[in-house]
A and B are shown apart, each in its own frame.
Chain A
Amino acid sequence: GESVGLHLPTLSVQEGDNSIINCAYSNSASDYFIWYKQESGKGPQFIIDIRSNMDKRQGQRVTVLLNKTVKHLSLQIAATQPGDSAVYFCAESGSARQLTFGSGTQLTVLP
């Protein structure tokens, strides 16, 4: 039969605005949470990670927030640029040393 693709959530933002990408996770035993960016035709690129004992971590133009109470992770991108257009994945890592990925969000930056 015909395969059905994942329905990727989409987010469109104006260039220069801030972007917030959300992710819900399921495994409360995960030690790390990671955000990846994947551009068309490329492999996922590491952006930032956060340990489970933290609730906020900042990088260059990016901030990750972790809310363990509701099992929610978010990635904030400041001053979004056209080069930020990509699919963003959250991933969780636990004792199994494997990454479990979310379904991804397609970010489009409008000129």
Chain B
Amino acid sequence: KAGVTQTPRYLIKTRGQQVTLSCSPISGHRSVSWYQQTPGQGLQFLFEYFSETQRNKGNFPGRFSGRQFSNSRSEMNVSTLELGDSALYLCASSGTGTGVEAFFGQGTRLTVV
């Protein structure tokens, strides 16, 4: 059974640009959550999607957005990148939709220069 797949693995962008990250959940999982991991703040919740609907959102500015497609694949977008957006972005899929037994992908390492 394939795990959670995130693409790309690494990304370097310039301040002011925008970026789109992709996540393919485990087959059959309808819940996808996104997290940001930084040395300063640790792991922080961005948002959660279930059946194409955003059900919950963390405390991040509106520059961070996401969406989910009918096949449960999800994308997150960050506009007007700032240096502080440099982080490991992790996607997690869950079959229960409760946030429990969330399985994480390897993440996308975003560096903003």
Tell which of B12-20, B72-80, B104-112 binds the partner.
B104-112
Interchain Cβ contacts within 8 Å, total number: 77
With A5-B39, A5-B40: A43-B105 Cβ-Cβ less than 8 Å: yes
What's the interface size class on B, roughly?
Answer: 20 to 34
With A42-B106, A43-B106: A89-B101 Cβ-Cβ less than 8 Å: no
With A43-B90, A89-B43: A32-B98 Cβ-Cβ less than 8 Å: yes
Asked if A101 contacts B107 (CB within 8 A), the reply is no
Asked if A97 contacts B42 (CB within 8 A), the reply is no
With A98-B56, A103-B42: A43-B107 Cβ-Cβ less than 8 Å: yes
CB < 8 Å neighbour of A45 from B41, B58, B104: B104
Q: Once the chains are docked, how many angstroms separate the CA of A92 from the CA of B12?
A: 32
CB < 8 Å neighbour of B31 from A32, A97, A103: A97
Asked if A49 contacts B40 (CB within 8 A), the reply is no
With A34-B100, A93-B100: A99-B45 Cβ-Cβ less than 8 Å: yes
Residue of A nearest to B43 (CB): A101
Q: Does more than half of chain A's interface fall in helix, strand or loop, or is it mixed?
A: loop
A4: chain B residues at CB < 8 Å are 40
Asked if B42 contacts A98 (CB within 8 A), the reply is no
With A43-B90, A44-B90: A49-B101 Cβ-Cβ less than 8 Å: yes
B84: chain A residues at CB < 8 Å are 3
Interface string of B18-55 (1 = CB under 8 A from A): 00000000000001010100111111110010000001
A: which residues have CB within 8 A of B?
3-6, 31-32, 34, 36, 41-46, 49, 89, 91, 93, 96-104
Report, nearest first, the 6 A-B pairs whose CB atoms are least far apart: A43-B104, A5-B39, A101-B43, A93-B99, A97-B99, A98-B45
17 contacts between A and B (CB under 8 A): A3-B84, A34-B101, A34-B102, A42-B107, A43-B106, A43-B107, A46-B102, A91-B43, A97-B31, A97-B56, A97-B97, A98-B33, A99-B33, A99-B45, A101-B35, A102-B42, A104-B42
